[in-house]
Structure 1
């Protein structure tokens, strides 16, 4: 594994690279509040197959840095997708297999929906991950609303202060609530928690959770992309949805109502006892999903 950095137009993106430089590209994307360590058992297995595996730190995490203090510290969905596309362009990657969950899954879903020619196949944990901001004002049943306490917390100045002061405490609690059957230890958490010390972490996180409800404006440069996402485009690339049956954020229902959002081949795989952090909790299943997709799709 090599730690590298590549410059895009707004970021120095830090990423880890596994496998041969001429292998078929696979990009693995982490979520909030996690980092590249989620793929420590996934990336080497895919690299052993001959793939070139890239695991970037998202904006606001780990060693990834903004180039200019003037760039909005936005965590909106368009920013995450833009960063992924820019990363692929900077590395000269024409087409890649994508896998992601949470924020990273959102970036992967958006690129798959809007630039399908760049995506070989997609593994998306929990499935269709594009935000419908226009509909975000509609309240959900109480059983769903209470799981989003952290989002409402972050929409207050007390929440911003709390995340800044107690970021490890907040994030560790979220790990426990979202993956109730995952018995991670202190060392596992601390290996990731260092990424939350990024100087832009708090600003990016707070903006993300405020923007998704329409309470703050996004980056003006990304408004055209957000307009396209408001149309809730379908995903036309072959996709496997890995859904943890014990996901404490979005519990899996017996009925999958997302199939109409995928028109290029779609399969949902339920993972018993697995929570929100699918790649780290279920690395073998994550590797298997990518292998199953890639074996039937030319590079």
Structure 2
């Protein structure tokens, strides 16, 4: 009897210790974003980016990473081609620590984002991508957010701020104003500028379609190198992002996007009215910070050429030190600071 009683007490003591430790871990997790515990914070963000959530939003089941407190001010960060959500991983650590709720969705054709039906056209035109993010906000019941991005993501953020300013409390756009149209793209550029768009013309051919499909990973790694010539990323960093290109719709979305820009592929009629508005290069009235790197190897407009498009509170920063096209990943602290800066602009209105 005494032996049984002692054994029972030992079991109870062990269970109490396990519960105590478990409650302590839960408490630490809850304090991750409020007490500035960097180890826990980094681990939480890594886990969020490796194990994305998913939500039905319009035409898509959107895969996305979410970090930071649920009651924090929403920040939506949008990647470009050929990149993925990991461009924002380190910026998200900084923003989460500051109390922001950071959401980083895969665009259509990337990562864990998939179409809800095989019958939906694999359309890469700019207004369709922007509507995806509006639907994403609706699905999460987010009325308004700070929107930030680069490359395709900056264009998408620009469009959202131009067409739906009531949904954007602030904008951070790398390379500034990127809204365009097939009509505007009919105008030839100087030879040096055309050279930077070599892949756009390659994608216009059937050879380019087949070549990109057969060599997606190698092709995109070349773009990383040429667009950010001074960024010494390692193979692990690239391969982590390259997994996003295994999406079954990736090649079709990319090819359609670039062909549509040159007027070589049709869009869809339901987007015609939006594209007509965008073709007029609408002004952006929401508070905005634009960024550029001093070693951007991709084509980009000069900051002075687009400053007048931003008619609200506005600031521009050109980052030095060899920062290339993938600015959020190459300079995560500066990108996070731009988000915080634009937030202060909107708060002071």
Task: Tell me the residue number matched to 2:330.
Answer: 281
**Residue 295 in structure 1 maps to residue 344 in structure 2:** yes
Task: Tell me the residue number matched to 1:258.
Answer: 306
TM-score normalised over the length of structure 1: 0.97
CA distance in 2, matches of 1:124, 1:133: 21
**Residue 50 in structure 1 maps to residue 87 in structure 2:** no
The structure richer in helix per residue is: 2
CA distance in 2, matches of 1:132, 1:76: 10
1:143 to 192, 200, 224: 192
**Residue 23 in structure 1 maps to residue 72 in structure 2:** yes
CA distance in 1, matches of 2:200, 2:114: 24
Task: Tell me the residue number matched to 2:247.
Answer: 198
Task: Tell me the residue number matched to 2:18.
Answer: none
Shift of 1:82: 0.6
2:268 to 216, 219, 223: 219
2:316 to 256, 268, 272: 268
User: What SS does the corresponding residue of 1:257 show, helix, strand or coil?
Assistant: helix
Higher Cα radius of gyration: 2
CA distance in 2, matches of 1:226, 1:148: 22
CA distance in 1, matches of 2:214, 2:182: 29
User: What SS does the corresponding residue of 1:161 show, helix, strand or coil?
Assistant: helix
Cα deviation code 1:199-250 (max 9, x no counterpart): 0000000000000111111122222211221121111011111111111112
Shift of 1:252: 6.5
Q: Aligned pairs, how many?
A: 298
Runs (4+) of structure 1 exceeding 4 A deviation are none
2:82 to 27, 33, 40: 33
Task: Tell me the residue number matched to 1:107.
Answer: 156
C-alpha contact 2:150 2:175 (8 A) present in aligned 1: yes
Task: Tell me the residue number matched to 2:205.
Answer: 156
Ranges in structure 2 where 5+ consecutive residues have no aligned partner? 1-44
TM-score normalised over the length of structure 2: 0.83
Shift of 1:132: 3.0
C-alpha contact 2:58 2:132 (8 A) present in aligned 1: no
2:117 to 68, 71, 76: 68
C-alpha contact 2:288 2:314 (8 A) present in aligned 1: yes
Q: CA RMSD in A?
A: 1.3
Task: Tell me the residue number matched to 1:238.
Answer: 287
C-alpha contact 2:109 2:249 (8 A) present in aligned 1: yes
User: What SS does the corresponding residue of 1:182 show, helix, strand or coil?
Assistant: coil
Task: Tell me the residue number matched to 1:119.
Answer: 168
Task: Tell me the residue number matched to 2:180.
Answer: 131
Task: Determine which structure has greater relative contact order: mean sequence separation of CA pairs < 8 Å that are 6+ residues apart, divided by chain length.
Answer: 1
C-alpha change, 1:8 and 1:251, in structure 2 (3 Å) is: closer
C-alpha contact 1:31 1:104 (8 A) present in aligned 2: yes
User: What SS does the corresponding residue of 1:258 show, helix, strand or coil?
Assistant: helix
CA distance in 1, matches of 2:245, 2:183: 30
1:85 to 108, 131, 134: 134
Cα deviation code 1:20-49 (max 9, x no counterpart): 111100001000000000011001110111
